[in-house]
Amino acid sequence: MPRKNKKIEFHKIEITDAGAKGKCVAKAPDGKIIFINNVVPGDVVDVQTFKKRKKFYEASVTKIHRFSDHRIEPSCEYFGSCGGCKWQNMEYSKQLFYKEKEVKNNLEKIGKIKVNELLPIKEAKKKYFYRNKMEFSFSNNRWLSYDEIQSQQQIKERNALGFHIPGMWDKILDINKCWLQEDPSNEIRNKIKEFATKNNIPFFDPKKQKGVLRTLMIRISNIGQIMVIVQFYSATKRQINDILNFIKTSLPKINSLQYVVNSKSNDTIYDQDVICFYGNDYIQEEMEGLKFRINAKSFYQTNSDQAYELYKIVRDFANLGGSELVYDLYTGTGTIAQFISKKAKKVIGVESVEDAIVAAKQNATINKIKNVEFFVGDMKSIFNNDFIKKNGTPKVIITDPPRDGMHKDVIKQILKIVPEKIVYVSCNSATQARDLEILSSKYEIIKSQAIDMFPQTHHVENVVLLKKLKQI
């Protein structure tokens, strides 16, 4: 039987901290933790619980008695409805404070490790309009606001092009202006929506699994090149041509216009054929003279400016002298490998996604880098004794795993070959701390530096330098 959660009200509760996943934290009179959205540490509020567990509650605010000194007015009109940018009601200096605090707590409490030097978090210069990639969903049944529902008026216009409402897979919040991607991103999205609505081209119906227009991806590189990818659920050749020709003629700044026809139950395009309708099938990023081609399926750090800062931290931590063999594990499209290649004798990049390795090799050729080599395969399987025997024992390992961290077999192999240095990049300091605890049997944690890749959110990246213990 489903668990029944009796709603409980707590009055004049002070928000004391910022917690995981963008939620803030308070303590209930019974000593349990309360997790609350859309508040700021220092707020004093009344709340009503909607979830009760053994050690915590989840609650929503019913009244604010006192505003925090750190609270600011959100820039975005959709704050509180949209699932992104949950911290934009908190001044930026406090966002950085809590991100640093989270990393430090995870390293100390989860990893149970002592870091010799905790460097200050690298703040972002751009607080808004910093993303180079955005994905929007079409829907024929947009999310209605409370005021719209209460008006009891018939809502005729229900098309939406925007973001999923958190926890509601079939509801899309229509967006007029998003603060995450620079112009002309908003213009592109709004013009496409207006044209499709005016010409009665059906938006996707997620419940009935029918319709024409499904998703829209916009990528804008750091040199201003623009890629637009329209995903159709089902469409006639005429509908496809009508939409794409409109985009081509009315939005001439676009360098790459592509499309996908995907009638699967999910909207991921990574197993689909992407067709180039106009221009190149890629756009280009540049960094210190290096050129990186980005295609529709490419993984690339979504904040170009901060990616550059991140790579500089990695390069500084590695402190290469020119004679080292370096392994770049979870290399992606090989951006870090190529960025540090001038300072190394040779760099070996390993990645499980074949398309990423194809892109890495292509970019290395474009950049005329000859001391890098890339291999594709499941990390825990390919990174074995035979691989090391064939390619050499690395003096330095750089690793940038997914959120789940490194596989235990990968860690085991690292501890077996014991390189002199490890530079560990992570988008999840909790799993990073878990891995560091294991590695600390043979390594000293020299320094750590967080970097803010995603202002207005709770997400934070962290870079750690490990050195082999002298007695090993």
Domain harbouring 65, CATH code:
2.40.50.140
Does position 39 have pLDDT exceeding 60, yes or no? yes
Q: What is the pLDDT of residue 3?
A: 55
Domain contains 152: yes
User: Quick one: 312 and 388 in the same domain?
Assistant: yes
- Tell me the pLDDT band of 158, cut-offs 50, 70 and 90: confident
**Residue 462: φ, ψ to 5°:** -145, 140
- Tell me the pLDDT band of 167, cut-offs 50, 70 and 90: confident
- Tell me the pLDDT band of 166, cut-offs 50, 70 and 90: confident
Count of the separate structural domains present in the chain: 3
Give CA–CA dist 399/420, Å, rounded: 14
Domain endpoint, select from 287, 311, 345: 287
User: Quick one: 238 and 332 in the same domain?
Assistant: no
User: Quick one: 142 and 33 in the same domain?
Assistant: no
User: Quick one: 137 and 278 in the same domain?
Assistant: yes
Domain contains 86: no
* Residues β-bridged to residue 118: 448
Q: Cβ neighbours of residue 133 under 8 Å, at least 6 residues apart? A: 181, 217, 218, 219, 300, 302
Q: What is the pLDDT of residue 171?
A: 87
For the segment 379-430, what is each residue's pLDDT rounded down to a tens digit? 999 999 999 999 999 999 999 999 999 999 999 999 999 999 999 999 999 9
For the segment 268-288, what is each residue's pLDDT rounded down to a tens digit? 998 999 999 999 999 999 999
- Tell me the pLDDT band of 42, cut-offs 50, 70 and 90: very high
Cα Rg, the chain, nearest whole Å: 24
Give CA–CA dist 96/122, Å, rounded: 9
Domain contains 312: yes
Q: Is 427 a catalytic residue?
A: yes
User: Quick one: 316 and 406 in the same domain?
Assistant: yes
For residue 405, give both structure tokens: 């961290």
Domain contains 204: yes
- Tell me the pLDDT band of 187, cut-offs 50, 70 and 90: very high
Cα of first residue to Cα of last residue in the chain, in angstroms, is 55
To which H or E segment does residue 52 belong?
Answer: strand 44-52
User: Quick one: 146 and 241 in the same domain?
Assistant: yes
- Is the separation of the CB atoms in 29 and 49 below 8 Å? no
What percent of the chain has pLDDT above 70? 98
Q: For the chain, what is the mean pLDDT?
A: 94
How confident is the model over 116-136, as a mean pLDDT? 97
For the segment 438-453, what is each residue's pLDDT rounded down to a tens digit? 999 999 999 999 999 9
Q: What is the pLDDT of residue 238?
A: 96
Dihedral sign, CA of 332, 336, 341, 345? Answer: negative
User: Quick one: 376 and 405 in the same domain?
Assistant: yes
Give CA–CA dist 74/86, Å, rounded: 10
Q: What is the pLDDT of residue 121?
A: 98
Q: Cβ neighbours of residue 306 under 8 Å, at least 6 residues apart? A: 122, 124, 130, 451, 452, 453
Give CA–CA dist 76/456, Å, rounded: 11
Domain contains 83: no
- CA 120 centroid distance within chain: 22
What percent of the chain has pLDDT above 90? 86
Does position 78 have pLDDT exceeding 80, yes or no? yes
User: Quick one: 120 and 188 in the same domain?
Assistant: no
Q: What is the pLDDT of residue 338?
A: 97
Angle between helix 408-417 and helix 429-439 axes, rounded to 10 deg: 40
Does position 84 have pLDDT exceeding 90, yes or no? no
Domain harbouring 164, CATH code:
2.40.50.1070
User: Quick one: 232 and 266 in the same domain?
Assistant: yes
How confident is the model over 27-33, as a mean pLDDT? 93
- Tell me the pLDDT band of 20, cut-offs 50, 70 and 90: confident
- Tell me the pLDDT band of 1, cut-offs 50, 70 and 90: very low
Give CA–CA dist 137/246, Å, rounded: 19
Lowest mean pLDDT among 140-144, 149-153, 177-181, 329-333: 149-153
Buried b (16+ CB within 10 A) or exposed e, 42-73: bbbbebebeebeeebbbbebeebeeebebbee
Domain contains 88: no
Q: What is the pLDDT of residue 168?
A: 78
Domain, as residue range, for 177: 133-287
Q: How many residues does the chain have?
A: 472
For the segment 237-262, what is each residue's pLDDT rounded down to a tens digit? 999 999 999 999 999 899 999 999 99
Domain contains 293: no
Count other Cβ atoms within 10 Å, centred on residue 395.
Answer: 18
User: Quick one: 41 and 141 in the same domain?
Assistant: no
Count other Cβ atoms within 10 Å, centred on residue 125.
Answer: 9
Domain contains 80: no
